[in-house]
Structure 1
């Protein structure tokens, strides 16, 4: 007998959500190298649910996750993990074609999008720069309680019998006739299946296991918290540039601002760079005429993508006991409920539920890189 049926490497939102889905069915261990789960990408999220974010091939996972996040099932608490925000994608006159293409990408998706003229934009964003002439409003965009969601998944998994090992890096992984023999920290365990939910370290975990890496690349994303004059309106929507060169949103009377940077780097405990913070502030000054009174806080996290920027959910083509659950980029939290249910169905051979009716799991099969 193996010690476990499934060992999941990584305790962020990916590993925690998958563990919660499968722990009632089998013996599960979540392995986390840090002192606490979710220290890296999950704990540094900008915290929103936007159906268009991630593109049209990610959108089905996001849309499918919405009802679960709004009204979680028994065992996940009685409060919604979402709160109303709305999102607004802005364009200057020379960017009109990009805005048209953005809307066309989601024309048959069911995502609600309303085109706004200049007057309507001014009502949404006070002090808007004169050269921004068009925008698209998504009324269904929501803020996400990321910390609450992550902790709810971990608590549910634990109650279902899952173990959590902290400060336990994966040292080695050897395939056997029964599954895997793993050295985790100073301990050896065996498992029938090994799940790679290691985020930025996904390719490193594959290498340790002797599985072909798939080119999962971490990218640094920077966020700064500003005190501004005027203070951001409470109902200010998540505001994005159609070129993907900035976004900002209100948070507890302050403004969270990102230059939407994607700087490739090695997996690690990343930190913001001065040039990225300066770039964010410069771009913000080109969108509104607000005064920045202070930069109160700054942080960076790593978003990890497969080469085609779609998630990896499925067994490795070269090792049937190795399961990829990675490459979730900046959309891993907003897609967590549906992605976890899809992962559980493939991993354990379960029948996909109604949530996945509009999700084509083949899009995310790692075999596409075979």
Structure 2
């Protein structure tokens, strides 16, 4: 057993755990425990890598918008634009999308006909109704993750890889944390930033399970003809059947699948790739020359599709930083800053001032009466 008593042990060194460690480490002694050989192996390392204001829904928009300045100023974003596309019969879905985000703070524009095809001349003629979001950008996921890893290490935090948590023991003054390597660590507070394994960790801690479910998301890299323009927008079907974007002369295509599964090292299913290709060919004039590679990752959601930030209402010294779906990377700066400010009782700053933290509290799954009093 290590003799060090850490203030915080964060389980998971993906984007969630790394960003939070970077925010906590200047004020506390922090340990980050990662189950894999290296951090970022699962969801962080398999992201489709875009920052999109509407992604995750209106409840996530404040976190996304609050993160934008941090990401832009540090060079992690490259503007691309996004186009939600539909056919004539999809008009009601586009109307509903506009209404859903009205007043949320995002800037979107309803376009049609020639204007749609000016943004995406590769679309078939019937796909001529769209919503354009100019602010959408590529996000340097690896760069951002390394930025946070470097930041927390520079602030004195310790990271242990190949340290899968196998047992949690609550004790006076905090926790004993036993890992697969046979080591035992001690910390005053435990932070559950374990992504798809969030409910597994909660169960080990004796916390009530909130129902975080991992969903498989598939992406295929295609070589198409003619060549793919690097400046094309991210294209998303308004019906949620596919999306695609360019990447160094190739195309990344997803069937926008959400298949519930157990926490695991996710692998793509051939049927999902085939479905994506079929939808893609029905929507564009491009010809697929080859499927060069394919992969899958897990996106983990709470039942209400919103993230969970804050202390568990029933288990002392156990904090949630989980349920961040597919938007955890694009919201990382604001989410981690908000969580650190709540944890230390710090005053809100420019990044977090407009965010209502009550929306994300774990208390919403436990006590509706107490929630109403917040």
CA contact (8 A) 2:242 2:256 kept: yes
Q: Which moved more, 1:110-119 or 1:156-165?
A: 110-119
CA offsets 1:329-363 (integer angstroms, 9 cap, x no match): 00000000000011111222222212112211111
Structure 1 runs (4+) deviating above 6 angstroms are: none
2:118 is the alignment partner of 1:123:
yes
Q: Which moved more, 1:18-27 or 1:114-123?
A: 114-123
Q: Which of 93, 101, 110 is equivalent to 2:105?
A: 110
Cα deviation for residue 91 of structure 1 reads 1.3
How many Å separate the matches in 2 of 1:28 and 1:146? 23
How many Å separate the matches in 2 of 1:164 and 1:134? 49
TM-score scaled to structure 2, two decimals? 0.95
CA contact (8 A) 1:200 1:303 kept: yes
Task: Please name the residue that 2:95 is paired with.
Answer: 100
Task: Please name the residue that 1:190 is paired with.
Answer: 186
Unaligned runs of 5+ in 1: 73-79
Cα deviation for residue 297 of structure 1 reads 1.0
CA contact (8 A) 1:44 1:299 kept: yes
CA contact (8 A) 2:308 2:361 kept: yes
- Match of 1:303, SS? strand
TM-score scaled to structure 1, two decimals? 0.96
Superposed, which structure 2 residues align to 1:335-350 within 5 Å? 335-350=331-346
CA offsets 1:44-82 (integer angstroms, 9 cap, x no match): 00000001000000010000000000013xxxxxxx000
Task: Please name the residue that 1:288 is paired with.
Answer: 284
How many Å separate the matches in 2 of 1:166 and 1:198? 13
Superposed, which structure 2 residues align to 1:61-80 within 5 Å? 61-72=63-74, 80=75
Cα deviation for residue 243 of structure 1 reads 1.4
Cα deviation for residue 320 of structure 1 reads 2.9
CA contact (8 A) 1:29 1:163 kept: yes
Q: Which of 259, 262, 274 is equivalent to 1:266?
A: 262
Task: Please name the residue that 1:77 is paired with.
Answer: none
CA contact (8 A) 1:2 1:178 kept: no
2:325 is the alignment partner of 1:329:
yes
Task: Please name the residue that 1:75 is paired with.
Answer: none
How many Å separate the matches in 1 of 2:9 and 2:337? 17
Task: Please name the residue that 1:42 is paired with.
Answer: 44
CA offsets 1:76-101 (integer angstroms, 9 cap, x no match): xxxx0000100000111111111111
CA contact (8 A) 1:13 1:38 kept: yes
CA contact (8 A) 1:313 1:343 kept: yes
How many Å separate the matches in 1 of 2:122 and 2:151? 45
2:314 is the alignment partner of 1:312:
no
Q: Which of 197, 213, 217 is equivalent to 1:217?
A: 213
2:145 is the alignment partner of 1:150:
yes
How many Å separate the matches in 1 of 2:307 and 2:122? 38
Task: Please name the residue that 1:172 is paired with.
Answer: 167
2:155 is the alignment partner of 1:160:
yes
Task: Please name the residue that 1:206 is paired with.
Answer: 202
CA contact (8 A) 2:117 2:128 kept: no
Q: Which of 292, 295, 299 is equivalent to 1:299?
A: 295
Task: Please name the residue that 2:253 is paired with.
Answer: 257
Q: What RMSD, in angstroms, separates the aligned Cα atoms of the two structures?
A: 1.0
2:25 is the alignment partner of 1:29:
no
2:78 is the alignment partner of 1:83:
yes
How many Å separate the matches in 2 of 1:252 and 1:2? 46
- Match of 2:21, SS? helix
- Match of 1:173, SS? strand
Cα deviation for residue 2 of structure 1 reads 6.0
CA contact (8 A) 1:2 1:192 kept: no
Cα deviation for residue 115 of structure 1 reads 1.4
